[in-house]
Structure 1
Amino acid sequence: MDMELGPLKPEPVELLFGLLCFLLLAWLLGRRVLPRVERVLAERHDAIEGGTERAEALRAEAEQAFEDRRRELDRARHEAARIRQEAAEQGAALIAAARAEGVLERDRLVAEAHDRISVDRTLAAVSLRQDVGELAVDLAGRVVGESVAAVAAQRGTVGRFFDEH
């Protein structure tokens, strides 16, 4: 099979040498250049797409942290409101207890004062009766011109007068 290819007919040594160079070049490209190209493309993809993915992951993490802090803040606000409510209730209870204690003390003091006034009134009435009786007897003695104290004491005139009135 001898085909006439004219100027395109290659020499078998040149064809073999060209094929060998092609295979050597393909092997070098497959072993050295293509892995580097793939690595550079992967790095570029990682830099572009991976940066976006990392940024998205960081954003999601930041949102999660924000929600956690917000929930924690809400719990703290709720706890503060509960503590304020407890303090207000305790304050109201203390005020009520102090008021009740004050009312009891006031009632005790008023009762003591009433007792003291009653005793003082009784003593004053006894003293006034005695003084009025003495003044009345003295006045009667002056009107009559002689002392009537012995007669008044013997008859109990002053005591009967006060007993009737």
Structure 2
Amino acid sequence: MLNALTLAAEAETKNPLIPEVYDIVWSLVAFAVILLVFWKVIIPRVTKTLDERAEVIEGGIARAESAQAEANAQLEKYNEMLAEARAEAGKIREQARVDGTKILTELKEQASAEAARITANASAQIEAERQAALVSLRSEVGSLALDLAAGVVGQSLSDDKKAAALVDSFLADLEASEKNGK
């Protein structure tokens, strides 16, 4: 029983939450070794890996920014070229419109000149045919009138000068009566 009392007394003096001194010492030695390994080996490797990743990310960001700037410059250049092309297309359309109007005007003038030329030729041809018909008609009417007059008078009108004067006076009277009738 006495042993039990001493054990109980000893148990009362020791706090179960406080470890023994040798446990604390060996725990500190193991902690120092692990801390030293982390400090010398693992932390530099992790730092190196993180730095490499940061450089890759920053390089990627820089490349992306430069690519974005280049794309913006290309877009601006494209927009300028597009604006120039549109302006030139407008000029070409306007020039084509002006040329079309000019060609149309020239064609109308050519058609008018051609029509006037054809009309003048037709008028001249008609006048020439009318003159030829008048000459032919005069000679026929003259010869018929002489034949008729010779039949009425009963004489032969063979004198050309008298016959020509008689025919001319007859035709002049005929033309004068035609003009008065109209």
Q: Map of 1:1-165 to 2, 5 A cutoff? A: 29=40, 34=44, 39-143=48-152, 146-150=154-158, 154=162, 156-164=165-173, 165=176
Q: State how far apart, in whole Å, the 1-side matches of 2:46 and 2:157 are.
A: 147
Deviation by residue 1:18-67 (Cα, 9 ceiling, x = unmatched): xxxxxxx8xx95xxx74x65543332112234323422331232122122
Larger Rg, first or second structure (1 or 2): 2
Q: State how far apart, in whole Å, the 2-side matches of 1:131 and 1:42 are.
A: 128
Q: Secondary structure at the match of 1:149?
A: coil
Q: Give structure 2 stretches of 5+ with no counterpart.
A: 1-20, 22-35, 177-182
Deviation by residue 1:64-109 (Cα, 9 ceiling, x = unmatched): 2122112212211221221232123223222322321232232123
Per mean C-alpha deviation after superposition, the further-off stretch among 155-164 and 129-138 is 155-164
Q: Secondary structure at the match of 1:84?
A: helix
- Give the structure-1-normalised TM-score: 0.65
Q: Secondary structure at the match of 2:158?
A: helix
Q: Percent identity?
A: 36
Q: State how far apart, in whole Å, the 1-side matches of 2:130 and 2:124 are.
A: 10
The 1:147/1:59 distance shift into structure 2, 3 A limit, reads: farther
Q: Secondary structure at the match of 1:113?
A: helix
Q: State how far apart, in whole Å, the 1-side matches of 2:112 and 2:156 are.
A: 55
Task: Using CA pairs under 8 Å that are at least 6 residues apart, name the structure with larger relative contact order, 1 or 2.
Answer: 2
Q: State how far apart, in whole Å, the 2-side matches of 1:143 and 1:126 are.
A: 25
Runs of 4+ in 1 over 6 A off after TM superposition: none
Contact 1:141 1:148 in 2 (8 A): yes
Q: State how far apart, in whole Å, the 1-side matches of 2:102 and 2:124 are.
A: 33
Q: State how far apart, in whole Å, the 2-side matches of 1:161 and 1:143 are.
A: 15
Contact 1:138 1:147 in 2 (8 A): no
- How many pairs does the alignment contain? 142
Per mean C-alpha deviation after superposition, the further-off stretch among 50-59 and 124-133 is 50-59
- Give the structure-2-normalised TM-score: 0.60
